Structure 1
Amino acid sequence: MPHPSRPRIVVGVDTHKQTHVAVALNQVGAVIGETTIPAHRAGYAQLQRWACELGEHEGEVEFGVEGCGSYGAGLASFLRRAGHRVVEVNRPDRSVRHRRGKDDTIDAETAARAVLSGAATAVPKTGDGTVEMIRQVKIAKDTATKARSQAIITLKTIIVNAPAELREILEPLGDKALIEECRKLRYESMSGPIDAACYTLRALADRYHALDQETRLHDRVLATLTNRAAPALTSLFGIAEDSASELLIVVGDNPDRINSEAALAKLCGACPIPASSGKTSRHRLNRGGHRQANAALHRILVVRMRFHEPTITYVTRRTAEGKTKKEIMRCLKRFLIREIYQIIVAPHKTNPLPSTT
């Protein structure tokens, strides 16, 4: 953090695929410089030298970078390793752009003002450890899973319009038997619709089989990486490698950036949102936050509500009190966040804040 007795400058950066635009402000918010750099390591070093030269006259330097999870990831990592304080800045909302207009310099200046005013305080993920490896493998797994689903949906659609002698054999089969049977289909020559249907169904079945094997491989790799990153997490009831990987991804390789249980709950969209009016006092489900992590929490709770005895007892008691299923799920997500925080965040806190109960 800058020394309180010294003036500082804040550099806001609007990031793009090929170039980044930076604007520097002094302590009182006056623009003292702007520059454009190429988006590679030499450009990052150029930006650092430019900012440090301004800093010699104005004071210590900190950076507000947009898109730290995409185009700004390389710059944020470079500046962090160089010892600078980097703050992740959200893209300006439409109302700000409607009032001020839109160009790269304005966006960079807006990012700098968000840091200077204290509106932006988020520490970006470091992206240099096991969790980053999990994130990359998870992308491969998710895309393979989606393509596998598309393959079998398309296969079943083809069967609906296939010749009757083929449809009557394949339509009653379950998914596994259907794939095996379709992979056995043969055709003599492309002499009629039935040959084309056999060819297409076999191609789709082979595609499904290959994607299924690929997905299973990704699952094994994810299991290894999640056990390496947080072995205690996958030991919790209902948390397998897929859900564990989503939760680890949202926390990142530097979990100490999350200050409290409440911050993790908000990050996962599991914090209570007031929905009271008049004499009605209630909270509703949060529709914000990291939706993949929130979906992982939901899957874990679906399993627990069916097979985990303490959770079943809790649901029964709260239902008797008049709570709806959505309200019970909201409470259970918050309790689950508490468990997860104690496993993957609290051990990394050098001076942990009090837990939110």
Structure 2
Amino acid sequence: MILIGVDPHKSSHTAVAVDAAGHQVAQRRFVVNAGTFRHLMRWCEQWPDRRFAVEGAGGLGRPLAQQLAAAGENVVDVPSTLSARARLLATGGDRKTDAKDALHVAQVALFRTDLRPVVQEDQTTILRLLTERRDDLVHERTRVLNRLHAVLRDLLPGGAPTGLSADKAAALMKGIRPVTATDNCRRDIARDLLADLRRLDRQVKDNEAEMREAVAATRTTLTTLPGLGTVLAAKVIGHIGDVSRFPTEHHFASYTGSAPLDASSGNNVRHRLNTGGNRALNSVLHTIAVCQIRDGGRGQDYYLRKISEGKTPSEARRALKRRLSNVVYRIMKRDQRNHLAHAA
């Protein structure tokens, strides 16, 4: 078995082949163009029994990793943090070249059995793209709305009220009668901002419609969980992908950052807040927890029970997030089993 490590860049990919003992067999640099993949595969034909390891297969290495997966190749994703640690432990210290990086990528993949296999993009990738697009649109809408507030503050006595929308802003602007040339300029800018706000509102609405269709296509039951609507379900599915890559609910909770970190030392047993993990998923769990605490039901009962045990509100909410992480994991595992049974 030959393992081929790839260090991808925008303009070039460097590949290093290693044997079963981790010794370098060959290396090659490929300029990125329309024929890069073809040239790489032609070079690799000398090793019929091969496996690929791509650094950052979810980022800069995504195009190449997806081409390899589509061609039926065995590919794993090597996080850059792991290859960086391998480089530090190697002879020569922190010396960095593309060829050395590719060698360390291959060596990490050779001795780590828990790396994530690269699979072809599917409906989960579409959901992630849609949720990321929605986040961008919402952030841009917030920026435009804040700017419109600032302009209206100088045009209207007392400014615009909170909870401003496009329709409310349009109604307020009908009563504006500029006196000076400066106020005329402000009114024109406010009109432009209002047009931007209406456009962003339409785009957010269209995005959510696409998201609903994409979530429905997955036949997920996540939306049956109180506090978890279509947008949050799309974010969960988009970021998790194949839930079977998490052996247990504890691994899943660690990935979402909802599991506390063990910080014990000697006889002192304690845990601390986990500020790592996938922060987008952690935010989803936080939103679900806040909704359940507000709206009542089993989530609120659990929260109040933790409060009665002496937990602070923040600690009780974190405990509920940990419980919700388990629930989300079980729902996704059940959906996966049902999908496989339906396909059979």
Aligned residues of 2:149 and 2:159 also touching (Cα < 8 A): no
TM-score, normalization by structure 1: 0.84
Equivalenced residue count is 333
Equivalence for 1:141? 134
Equivalence for 1:50? 43
Aligned residues of 1:258 and 1:345 also touching (Cα < 8 A): no
Aligned residues of 2:127 and 2:238 also touching (Cα < 8 A): yes
CA–CA distance in structure 2, aligned partners of residues 170 and 181 of structure 1: 13
Letter of the 2:2 counterpart: I
Distance 1:196 1:337, change over 3 A: same
| 5+ residue gaps, structure 2 | none
Aligned residues of 1:284 and 1:330 also touching (Cα < 8 A): no
Letter of the 1:52 counterpart: E
Aligned residues of 1:238 and 1:304 also touching (Cα < 8 A): yes
Equivalence for 1:65? 54
Deviation at 1:345, TM superposition (A): 3.3
Q: Which is further off, 332-341 or 276-285? A: 276-285
Q: Which is further off, 151-160 or 277-286? A: 277-286
CA–CA distance in structure 1, aligned partners of residues 76 and 236 of structure 2: 22
Corresponding residue SS for 1:288: coil
Distance 1:321 1:169, change over 3 A: closer
1:13 aligns with 2:6: yes
CA–CA distance in structure 1, aligned partners of residues 322 and 17 of structure 2: 40
Deviation at 1:113, TM superposition (A): 0.8
Aligned counterparts, 1:83-102, within 5 A: 83-92=72-81, 99-102=93-96
Distance 1:32 1:121, change over 3 A: same
Corresponding residue SS for 2:221: helix
Q: Which is further off, 334-343 or 86-95? A: 86-95
What is the CA deviation profile of residues 104-150 of structure 1, one whole-angstrom value per residue up to 9, with x for unaligned ones? 111111111101121762223532x2112112222321111111100
Distance 1:183 1:175, change over 3 A: same
What is the CA deviation profile of residues 264-299 of structure 1, one whole-angstrom value per residue up to 9, with x for unaligned ones? 222222223113356653323321111111111111
Equivalence for 2:110? 116
Q: Which is further off, 307-316 or 22-31? A: 307-316
Equivalence for 1:297? 285
Q: Provide the identity percentage.
A: 27
Aligned counterparts, 1:1-357, within 5 A: 8-39=1-32, 42-53=35-46, 55-56=47-48, 60-92=49-81, 99-118=93-112, 121-127=115-121, 129-160=122-153, 162=154, 166-168=155-157, 170-172=159-161, 174-176=163-165, 178-181=168-171, 184=174, 192-252=181-241, 254-277=242-265, 280-348=268-336
CA–CA distance in structure 1, aligned partners of residues 173 and 126 of structure 2: 34
Corresponding residue SS for 2:51: strand
Equivalence for 1:3? none
CA–CA distance in structure 2, aligned partners of residues 324 and 279 of structure 1: 25
CA–CA distance in structure 1, aligned partners of residues 204 and 174 of structure 2: 22
Letter of the 2:244 counterpart: D
Aligned residues of 2:261 and 2:273 also touching (Cα < 8 A): yes
CA–CA distance in structure 2, aligned partners of residues 182 and 33 of structure 1: 70
Distance 1:310 1:349, change over 3 A: closer
Aligned residues of 2:86 and 2:104 also touching (Cα < 8 A): no
Aligned residues of 2:228 and 2:288 also touching (Cα < 8 A): yes
Aligned residues of 1:305 and 1:315 also touching (Cα < 8 A): yes
Corresponding residue SS for 2:117: coil
CA–CA distance in structure 1, aligned partners of residues 158 and 187 of structure 2: 12
Corresponding residue SS for 1:344: helix
Distance 1:168 1:43, change over 3 A: same
Equivalence for 1:355? none
TM-score, normalization by structure 2: 0.87
Letter of the 2:75 counterpart: V
CA–CA distance in structure 2, aligned partners of residues 338 and 172 of structure 1: 42
CA–CA distance in structure 1, aligned partners of residues 45 and 336 of structure 2: 31
Deviation at 1:36, TM superposition (A): 1.7
Q: CA RMSD in A?
A: 2.7
CA–CA distance in structure 1, aligned partners of residues 229 and 266 of structure 2: 43
Letter of the 1:287 counterpart: T
CA–CA distance in structure 1, aligned partners of residues 172 and 16 of structure 2: 60
CA–CA distance in structure 2, aligned partners of residues 263 and 45 of structure 1: 38
What is the CA deviation profile of residues 155-189 of structure 1, one whole-angstrom value per residue up to 9, with x for unaligned ones? 222234x2xxx32164346413642235547778x
